[in-house]
Chain A
Amino acid sequence: MLGLLRRDLTLAFRAGGGFGLSLAFFLIFATLVPFGVGPETMVLETIAPGILWLGALLACLLSLDRIFQLDWEDGTLDLLATAPVPLEGVAAMKALGHWITTGLPLVLAAPVLGLLLNLPLPAYPWLLASLAAGTPALSAIGTFGAALTVGIKRGGLLLSLLVLPLYVPTLIFGALAVIRGAEGQDATTPLILLAGITLGSLATLPFAAAAALRVNLR
């Protein structure tokens, strides 16, 4: 199973692998916001937490349909299903691979973009913590959505519609943690709820994704 993770990472970093797509989208999104809403620092300061979280979420969404679709198209998924690796493990490794190539770069890039959006200084630790705690949930939920829509040609639209509502709690608590941090308040409560969502997703969704894959491979 670690071989699968290694292969997915190799594929992502090779030419045409799609690594950097989400990161580039996040950078463009956050850079364009000041042009759209105007340069007033007060306004930017207020919306920065929400914008950063929303950008990270949309960037994540952008790369979801690659998780299983490519393996489905070239027949690898059929072969993986008959190999002596549990599909639950395959789903978990796919989610982990997606987080390493998408979520982790977003976490690391977010403070730089916070600077562009005039995010107040006390919010930075909370921004890093909330993204680090929340993006694994985005990957796990997205893997489940990708498993549900794997057999559908151009299933990207359906995937987004399925996954977006499931992303709402993560977005609410993630952004709330940063907003509270920006106001100088303690943001432990939303952060703990966020971590709870992540742990719950990680514990259950690989099994749901594997079940969805089994149905779709028929």
Chain B
Amino acid sequence: MRESCHLPLDLSMGYRWPAMLLSVTDLSCARGSAQVLAGVGFSVAEGEALILRGPNGAGKTTLLRTLAGLTPPLAGRIDCAPDAIAYAGHADGLKAQLTVEENLRFWAGAFAARDIAPALDAFDLHPLADRRAGEMSAGQKRRLSLARLLVTGRPVWCLDEPTVSLDVENVGRFARAVEGHIAAGGAAVIATHIDLGLPNARTLDVTPFMAKRLRSDDPFGGDPFAERVG
């Protein structure tokens, strides 16, 4: 039996503390000119997944777009290495006239990746490789759009409802792809309503961060997206 009660001088002792890949402090996000979230703070280390929860319209998509750098934050800071985030939104970003392989090769070229075979394998797309994206079902398109993440080679995945239109088998494939990515030192921030069964997953409910929208002087109850019609 080894003695293990003394304080180690070298704090690392062969154990490497997971490096922080993404850290968000007091972040306020806006969609258009309307503030949606305020005071969001969290951090994601390598080997971790953060599941974003919250009702429809709570601001999960806005938060992910802000993390991806598509929308500038209103306030607060996002600490992240440059070019670390791979974003996948609601839209698949596929070209209907190109085949599965051509679509994936284009993104592999944009991210300077050489090999698309692992990405095709992970989502069982080999049998569909020569099919045009326009002739595939919604679930098959989604698999192709998720396979794109594997060719980006980026450590932090920011995914917005990635399992939409996937069947049970492919939700499993997706969960395994995320597991593999995390095990290899990556991280993921995923907005989803289903349980992916990921190890090392924490959940962040964005509801408490929703910006105050109720103003008594506003005839629309303060909904920033309300529009007068007629």
Report whether A218 and B90 are in contact in the complex, using a CB–CB cutoff of 8 Å.
no
Q: Which of B85, B91, B98 contacts A82 (CB 8 A)?
A: B85
Q: Kindly list the 5 A-B residue pairs having the minimum CB-CB distance in the complex, ordered from nearest.
A: A75-B91, A3-B109, A75-B93, A14-B97, A79-B93
Q: Tell me whether chain A's interface is mostly helix, strand or loop, or mixed.
A: helix
Answer yes or no: A100 CB below 8 A from chain B CBs: no
User: Using Cβ atoms and an 8 Å threshold, which residues of chain B touch A162?
Assistant: none
Q: What range describes how many residues of A lie at the interface?
A: 20 to 34
Answer yes or no: B9 CB below 8 A from chain A CBs: no
User: Using Cβ atoms and an 8 Å threshold, which residues of chain B touch A79?
Assistant: 87-89, 93, 107, 148
Q: Which of B70, B92, B96, B112 contacts A217 (CB 8 A)?
A: B70
Report whether A16 and B97 are in contact in the complex, using a CB–CB cutoff of 8 Å.
yes
Answer yes or no: A10 CB below 8 A from chain B CBs: yes
Give the complex CA separation of A17 and B97 in angstroms.
8
Q: What range describes how many residues of B lie at the interface?
A: 20 to 34
Answer yes or no: A40 CB below 8 A from chain B CBs: no
B224 to chain A, nearest CB (A): 15
A17 to chain B, nearest CB (A): 7
Answer yes or no: A76 CB below 8 A from chain B CBs: yes
Report whether B98 and A218 are in contact in the complex, using a CB–CB cutoff of 8 Å.
no
Q: Tell me whether chain B's interface is mostly helix, strand or loop, or mixed.
A: loop
User: Using Cβ atoms and an 8 Å threshold, which residues of chain B touch A83?
Assistant: 107, 110-111, 152
What are 27 residue pairs bridging A and B, where the CB atoms are less than 8 Å apart in the complex? A3-B106, A4-B106, A4-B110, A7-B95, A7-B106, A10-B102, A11-B97, A11-B98, A14-B98, A73-B91, A75-B89, A76-B93, A76-B94, A78-B68, A78-B89, A79-B87, A79-B88, A79-B89, A79-B93, A79-B148, A81-B69, A82-B69, A82-B87, A217-B70, A217-B71, A218-B32, A218-B72
User: Using Cβ atoms and an 8 Å threshold, which residues of chain B touch A7?
Assistant: 95, 98, 102, 106
Determine the residue in chain B with the shortest Cβ distance to A2: B109
A80 to chain B, nearest CB (A): 7
Answer yes or no: B83 CB below 8 A from chain A CBs: yes
Determine the residue in chain A with the shortest Cβ distance to B112: A84
User: Using Cβ atoms and an 8 Å threshold, which residues of chain A touch B72?
Assistant: 218
Give the complex CA separation of A189 and B65 in angstroms.
50
